[in-house]
């Protein structure tokens, strides 16, 4: 797609998506890719409220906040298609994965201060380097590697959990990741063909929606696992009969 003069000026980001630019507003480059981040913010806010209300560890509050920051950064990026705003999307993606690595692996880490210190420094160095150099393929490879680091631990948690409802959360996590990835790939690989359709399925926007639910299911599953580790008698309950969240019962000594 060619650079388009708009309220934000010519496109400076290294990546554009299949959605046509500035169709609905001169202030929003990719309309559907922008507003599709709203469910992620709402779901992260619900998770944050539940985490604070029940007294979960601060790591989960920070995780939910990072989900919101990522969604807001994604909105800024897709609304402007500017390089600076692209970094506000991509850098929080890496920070979020570092948080997941910490939450997944820290319970068995013998030296408590080393892991958060290393991950913090890693995230800071990445942010500085990423602000100075443009990594297109390198960024995607780096992000996939961080995701793959999480998989063995998630699988370990899954096989050791007996609660059916908690296992269902893990399956929903995998399912939304799979569907979202299919939408992302179709939007990238078949953009020319899709652009000729009368109606665009907005694959990248669907990716945002699926990943919003994906993060919520992952966070809720990890909260359940952590509560079980702490002996907080966790159980999965459903708001309005279908929306899952973790309810705990801490011992009185805690």
Task: Please indicate if the annotation marks 207 as binding a ligand.
Answer: no
Residue 17 annotated in ligand binding: yes
Buried b (16+ CB within 10 A) or exposed e, 41-70: bebbebbbebbeebebeebbebbbbbbbbb
Q: Does residue 236 contact residue 244 with C-beta atoms inside 8 Å?
A: yes
CA distance 62 to 81: 27
Q: Is 21 annotated as a binding residue?
A: yes
**208 assigned ligand-binding residue:** yes
78 among the known binding-site residues?
A: yes
On whether 160 is known to bind a ligand per the annotation, the reply is: no
Provide the phi-psi class of 111: left if phi over 0, else alpha when psi is between -120 and 50, else beta: beta
Strands (E), the chain: 235-239, 243-247
Q: Has 142 been labeled as part of a binding site?
A: no
Q: By the 8 A CB rule, do 49 and 67 touch? A: no
**Binding region for Ca(2+):** 17, 19, 21, 30
Q: Which residues are annotated binding-site positions for Zn(2+)?
A: 78, 204, 208
**Residue stretches of the annotated binding site:** 17, 19, 21, 30, 78, 204, 208
């Amino acid at each position: 797609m060619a650079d388009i003069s708009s309220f934000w000026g010519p496109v400076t980001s290294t990546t554009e998506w299949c959605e046509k630019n500035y169709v609905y507003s001169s202030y929003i480059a990719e309309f559907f890719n922008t507003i599709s981040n709203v469910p992620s913010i709402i779901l992260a806010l619900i998770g944050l409220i539940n985490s604070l209300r029940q007294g979960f560890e601060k790591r989960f509050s920070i995780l939910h906040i990072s989900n919101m920051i990522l969604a807001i950064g994604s909105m800024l990026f897709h609304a402007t298609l500017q390089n600076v705003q692209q970094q506000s999307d991509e850098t929080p993606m890496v920070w979020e994965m570092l948080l997941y690595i910490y939450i997944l692996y820290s319970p068995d880490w013998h030296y408590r201060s080393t892991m958060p210190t290393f991950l913090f420094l890693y995230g800071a160095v990445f942010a500085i380097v990423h602000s100075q150099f443009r990594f297109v393929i390198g960024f995607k490879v780096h992000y996939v590697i961080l995701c793959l680091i999480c998989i063995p631990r998630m699988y370990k948690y899954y096989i050791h959990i007996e609660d059916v409802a908690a296992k269902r959360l893990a399956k929903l996590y995998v399912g939304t990741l799979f569907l979202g990835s299919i939408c992302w790939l179709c939007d990238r690989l078949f953009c020319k063909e899709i652009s000729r359709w009368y109606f665009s399925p907005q694959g990248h926007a669907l990716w945002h929606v699926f990943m919003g639910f994906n993060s919520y299911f992952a966070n809720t599953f990890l909260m359940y696992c952590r509560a079980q580790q702490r002996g907080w008698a966790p159980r999965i309950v459903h708001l309005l009969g279908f929306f899952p969240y973790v309810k705990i019962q801490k011992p009185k000594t805690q």
